[in-house]
Amino acid sequence: MRWSEFAEKECIDLVNGERLGNFLHADLTFHPQTGKIESILIPVGSSWFKKKSRQIELSWRLVKKVGPEMVIISTAEQKG
């Protein structure tokens, strides 16, 4: 799957059904030696000039299912 296809999808938390956003303006972090994706940084809250925006960091292992319109993650593993 290309990033352009992935970026259009909504991110939904399986634990509470919360919409975390989409991946359109997200960033990825990679492991320096292997090049594997480690986490996704999703911007939350928009403001002018991005002064008050913050990011949610989601470990790549939290991704449970990639569907045609959304990505299901489970933050239960992150909390526990």
**pLDDT > 80? residue 78:** no
Q: What is the pLDDT of residues 65-77, one digit of tens each?
A: 999 999 999 988 7
pLDDT at residue 47, rounded to an integer: 58
CATH number at residue 45: 2.30.30.240
Structural domain tally of the chain? 1
How large is the average pLDDT for residues 18-22? 86
Query: Rounded mean pLDDT of 1-28?
Result: 88
Q: Would you place residue 3 in the very low, low, confident or very high pLDDT band (cuts 50, 70, 90)? A: confident
In 10 A of CB 58, how many CB atoms? 20
Is the per-residue pLDDT at 40 higher than 70? yes
Give me the domain span that covers residue 35.
3-79
Q: How far apart are the first and last CA of the chain?
A: 30
Its pTM stands at 0.74
